[in-house]
């Protein structure tokens, strides 16, 4: 199994996780993807069993014999977390998705100016 790499992107960017397996004996891709939200202690949520995505508005897959690449189409902060690529019922590999958000610096700066004048 080839392990997916960690990915860091800005919001609205595309993120790609690549996962391959040595299981190429059938037409069915045995790789499945699971997800644990950032900061969540919960169990992994399965959303792409056998490389078939359940939420096509957020995710897409590219598959071939022994390959199942996961694509987050337009990342949002809620997509951040741990992605698990699993080979059938066997071992799994993890990769982290870090989504960098946009911050309104102007408001922070204005707030500092107000506090400066009050001192």
pLDDT tens, 69-93?
A: 999 999 999 999 999 998 877 788 9
Residues of the chain scoring pLDDT < 50: 104-119
What residue numbers bound the domain in which 18 lies?
7-118
Question: Is 17 within a domain?
Answer: yes
Number of separate domains in the chain: 1
Both structure tokens of 51: 């490389």
Radius of gyration of the chain (CA): 19
Question: Is 2 within a domain?
Answer: no
Question: Is 1 within a domain?
Answer: no
Question: Is 85 within a domain?
Answer: yes
Residue 112 DSSP one-character state = H
Both structure tokens of 8: 């860091």
CATH number at residue 103: 2.60.40.10
CB-count burial class (<10 Å; 0-12, 13-18, 19+) for 113: exposed
């Amino acid at each position: 199994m080839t392990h997916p790499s960690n990915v860091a992107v800005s919001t609205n960017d595309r993120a790609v996780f690549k996962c391959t397996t040595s299981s190429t004996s059938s037409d069915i891709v045995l790789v499945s993807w699971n997800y644990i939200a950032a900061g969540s202690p919960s169990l992994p949520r399965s959303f792409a069993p056998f490389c078939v995505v359940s939420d096509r508005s957020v995710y897409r897959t590219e598959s071939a014999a022994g390959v199942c690449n996961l694509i987050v189409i337009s990342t949002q902060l809620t997509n951040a977390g741990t992605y698990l690529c699993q080979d059938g019922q066997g071992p799994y590999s993890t990769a982290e998705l870090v989504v960098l958000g946009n911050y309104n610096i102007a408001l922070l700066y204005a707030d500092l100016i107000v506090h400066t004048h009050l001192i």
